[in-house]
Every structure is written in C-alpha cells, then in structure tokens.
Amino acid sequence: MNKPELPSSSSSDASSLHEEEEEGWEDAEPDQEDLQVVSLFDEKTFPDAKSMIEYCKENYGFDFLGAAKSLGLDFYSSVKFVNYIREEVRKGNLKPDVSSASLFEDDRFMKPVLEDDALLFSLDDLTNSASEEQDATGGESDAARKIADLEEQLKDMKSQFSEYRLQVEETLEKRWNDAAGTSRSKASASGEGSGDTKEDGIDFEGDYFESYSYNDIHETMLKDTIRTDAYRDFIYDNKHLFAGKTVLDVGCGTGILSMFCARAGASQVFAVDNSSIIEKAKINVITNNLSDKVTCIRGKIEEVTLPVDKVDIIVSEWMGYCLLFEAMLDSVLWARDRYLKPEGLLVPSHCTLRIAPLEDPEYITENIEFWRDVYGFDMTAMMAKIYDDILVRQVSTKNLAGDSACFMTLPLHTITTADLVFTKEFSVKVSRDIDALSGWVIWFDTFFLTSRGAVLPEDARAESWKSSNRDGVAFTTGPAGKETHWRSGVMIIDRSKHRDIPLKAGETIAGSVEFAKAKLNTRGLEIGVKWKLEYGKKEEAQEWFMR
C-alpha cells in the first residue's frame, strides 16, 4: 500500500501532519502481528506454536518436538517435516510414520501444504524454547533421561540377542537335520509325499517358504496399493458376501486379508501359512482384537487339517510374476477342491494373461550393447542370461509396438492344475512402423467377481473395468495401469539368432505362447514364444526362464 500524498502547507502544519501520519501508520502496521497457528491434525487455531504443539500431544498423542529431536532435524528439514505431516493428514492419515527423516527428504516438501502456515515461521522460536526448557530442567531430569535411554538401549540389546540366539539355533538345527539326511527343519515343514525338491544340494521348496519369513517381502506387497486396495475394496464393498461366513486364507502372510474378512463380518477365518511369518500374523491378529474370529495355522495347506469340513469363501493372494511363477495356484486349487463348498466363492475369481510386442531400442542400447565396449573391454560374457531370463520390468505404453492379445483366461472356480501347463495361440497387429522387434511383454489382469456363476466378458480389460461400470473389482499389472510389485515379464529377443525385420503399421504377427513348469524347480516357470508374420515369413521361436 502507498502512503497518501500530503497537501502543501506551512512548516508547522507539515510537522503536525508528519506526526499524525506516523501515528496513523503505526496503527495500520503494528509491530506485533497476531498469529493464528493451525493444528497439525484438525482445523483448530492457536495464538502460538507452543500451545498448538501441546494440544496435538494431548489430543493426538503426537510429540512434534520429541520426534524432531529424535530425528536430528535442522531448520530446513523441520520445514519439510511440517509439510510432510500436513500432507499425510490431508490424505486421512492421523498417525503418520515418523520413524525416519528419509520419508520427507524430497525437496517437494519445502513447498507449504497450508498457505501462510504460521507454524513454519515459528520453528526457530520452538527450537529455542525447547532448548531453554531443557536447560532449565537441570541435572536431575537430564540424568534421569540418560538412565531411561540406557535402559531402553539395554532392552533393545536383549531383544536383538534373543533373536540372534534363535537364528543360530535354527541354523544349527537345519545343519544337523541335513547332515542326518532327514527332512528339512520346521522352517520349511515340507513333509513327506511332497516330491523330491532338492537338486545339487538346493532345496527349492524349503527356500521358497523361507523367503516369506522376512519382513521386506511383505512390506513390498502391503505397500503395493493397487494390489492391497483391490482386496480391501472388494471385501469391504461386499460385506454381505462375508457376513457370518467361514473363510479360508491360503498363504496368509501378515494376516492382512484375514483381518479384512473379519472386519467385513466373517464369523470365522482360518489363516494358513507355511513360513514363520505366521508367528507375526498371530500377534497382528491379537493386537487388532480379532483373535476371536481369526485362527492362524502353521503348515502347508495340503498337510494341515482345518477344524471345519468346508468353508464358504477362499481368499488368497497367490499371483506370481507372469501370474504363474511360484506355482502357488496349485495349492489354492487343492484347497478349493478339498474345502470350498459347492456354492462357495473364490477371491479373486478370474485372471487373464496378455502378450504384446515390444520395441525399445533405448533399453537394448543401455542394457545390452553397453557390455560390448566397457572402457575398451569386451564384457559380453555379462550378457549370458539376458536373452534367457524373463526380466521383471515396468514397461511404458510408448514401447509397445502393438495392442496386446489375451492368450489365456483362468476361471478359478473351474480350472484344474493340468490346465496350468499349456500352449495358446495369439495374434497381434503392429501399431506403428518399427525397425525391429525387441521382444515380448507378458502381464496379467485380476478380477474379483461377486458370484460363483459370473462369466468374465471376452473383452474384459482391468484398466477400464471401473469406468465401464462393471460389477466387482479388477486391476492390471500391465503398462496401461499404475505400477505394481509384479510389473511385467519382459523377454528380449536374441538378435544373434533372430533377424532384424522392419515392420509396418497394420501388419499382423501370429504365434503361440507355451507355459510350463521348470524342470528342476517346479515353482519356476518356462515360457516359450513362437511368432511369424502373417504373409508367411520364416517362423521364429525362443524360450525364456524365470528361476
């Protein structure tokens, strides 16, 4: 705002006017501006940051200053911290994760979430105030705090030592059992009659279950919101299907799907898993006050005995890379045939497999041609498996050289394990001119339909399922959807064995896809693709492996 223009007058009048002007500006722009600090967790406002922080601590159990201190935040990271919390609260998360400063290290958190956020201007005052209070408390409280910290460290060390001792005991037990030629210890619980799963000292079956004992793999799956939200939304949106029903969760992991079902009204849920993660699932169930509904059982579904003869619903997240890697669907189908009532429901109910041609010269250059000249050295030996292995990658739609084709539909209520080894034909049209085909991309779509008798439409596409107002829930792992932890299976064509043939838009590539279990590791996957141009050029073929 500009100051008003003064009228001409005598010097005494000017002096008087000058004094009045100064007084007027003091009224318009006071030295002390009243603050309105908005709460971190609701719309309540406070005259200062300190009272707001105390309010959040008392009403939401969130100690802002304590968290900032434990994370060792400076001023700029404190700004990011505030914006991170406000962003999480806007998403509806009233208990944001503050375990690590890496959660909000991105510079985007420097941008205020709340316009004119008075808290950001008060951070220095908060820090100084906290330091003064710490100095004022003096020696006794400081000593007590140090003692408490040391006691906490001692507690952690005891816990870590107990875990370490347990790991040592399990390792020694495994070695003793292996040396005696007995079956694998409780970490695998593979049991008799499961077939010979060892080759050259490798226990594929035991290693498979052991891999699910660790938190990382479950954290990855739980943070895959496309996957987890699909299960949650279907279960919560169809509570009438679960109310009062008995549910079996095959391969329950942390127990998340079992707890969804219990919260949706299931009267009893049996959560079965053959890895030691089941022990943590039990604690999760107890912690969330669901132990009266969810029963956790350790073992292979083929070997345990449920306390009921039949169940109303089987829920399982069994899908692997390229859908059938890991062969867990075999166990789900076994459970279906043994435990599911004739009118019972499988969740999910259908899956489809799709294939599309890939053209990605940049990937070829960066990841394959790179090895031909590394600082003047030929390192093509590093490419030994690049043409043999199925790569797990997120593919952009811009790198698809044509539309995808569905080559296999899996109606889970009726499909058999014998159907999971197959050869299916496909046909795709090239959508643009390309210099050469780089490879093939395979992914799967998953559908959750609300009745056993529901038939999946032939043109079903998961990415357009919701917008088409279809019944149920669906998600895709392909390029047209958001990235999932499955991503897509990418199979690069070996150019030393196949010709580079330029293709024109509109040309058709016909072929077949073969799915088979790996010869040694029956949880592995072998995929073979044959392809040829419609007008009769030489047929090409290649096989890839997922070990």
- Does residue 41 surpass a pLDDT of 70? yes
- Does residue 88 surpass a pLDDT of 60? yes
As a whole number, the mean pLDDT across the chain is 82
Q: With H, G, I as helix, E, B as strand and everything else as coil, classify residue 126.
A: helix
- Does residue 176 surpass a pLDDT of 50? no
Q: With H, G, I as helix, E, B as strand and everything else as coil, classify residue 544.
A: strand
Confidence (pLDDT) at 12: 40
CA dihedral 408, 414, 417, 421 (to 10 degrees): -20
User: Is residue 446 a contact partner of residue 528, using CB atoms and an 8 Å limit?
Assistant: no
The alpha carbons of the chain give a radius of gyration, in whole angstroms, of: 31
Mean pLDDT of 287-308: 96
Mean pLDDT of 328-346: 97
Confidence (pLDDT) at 159: 58
* Banded model confidence at residue 410, pLDDT cuts 50, 70, 90: very high
- Does residue 178 surpass a pLDDT of 70? no
Mean pLDDT of 234-239: 98
Token code pair at residue 447: 């559908």
Confidence (pLDDT) at 497: 86
User: Is residue 491 a contact partner of residue 542, using CB atoms and an 8 Å limit?
Assistant: yes
How far apart CA 270 and CA 316 sit, in angstroms, is 12
Does the 350-546 domain belong in CATH 2.70.160.11?
Answer: yes
The secondary structure element, H or E, covering residue 285 is helix 277-287
Lowest-confidence region among 146-160, 218-232, 349-363: 146-160
Mean pLDDT of 473-489: 96
- Does residue 368 surpass a pLDDT of 90? no
Is residue 317 part of the annotated active site? The answer reads: yes
- Does residue 26 surpass a pLDDT of 80? no
Share of residues in the chain with pLDDT > 70 (%): 77
What residue type is 336 in one-letter code?
A: R
- Does residue 7 surpass a pLDDT of 90? no
pLDDT tens column, 108-162:
888 889 888 889 888 877 765 555 555 444 445 566 666 777 776 666 665 555 5
Confidence (pLDDT) at 180: 40
Q: Global pTM?
A: 0.63
How far apart CA 296 and CA 306 sit, in angstroms, is 10
How far apart CA 260 and CA 246 sit, in angstroms, is 13
* Banded model confidence at residue 367, pLDDT cuts 50, 70, 90: confident
3/71: higher pLDDT: 71
Catalytic residue among 88, 205, 210, 317: 317
Confidence (pLDDT) at 210: 57
Is residue 369 part of the annotated active site? The answer reads: no
Q: With H, G, I as helix, E, B as strand and everything else as coil, classify residue 92.
A: coil
Mean pLDDT of 210-235: 84
Instruction: Delimit the domains of the chain by residue range.
Output: 1-31, 37-126, 155-185, 215-317, 350-546
Residues 6+ apart with CB under 8 A from 152: none
What is the sign, positive or negative, of the torsion defined by CA atoms of 247, 252, 103, 125? positive
Mean pLDDT of 308-318: 98
Lowest-confidence region among 155-159, 211-215, 315-319: 211-215
Confidence (pLDDT) at 537: 66
Mean pLDDT of 411-425: 96
Residues 6+ apart with CB under 8 A from 525: 320, 321, 322, 324, 325, 327, 390, 515, 516, 517, 518, 545, 546
Question: Please, what CATH class does the domain formed by 215-317 belong to?
Answer: alpha beta
- Does residue 50 surpass a pLDDT of 50? yes
User: Is residue 250 a contact partner of residue 331, using CB atoms and an 8 Å limit?
Assistant: yes
pLDDT tens column, 249-272:
999 999 999 999 999 999 999 999
Catalytic residue among 88, 205, 210, 326: 326
* Banded model confidence at residue 16, pLDDT cuts 50, 70, 90: very low
Confidence (pLDDT) at 166: 54
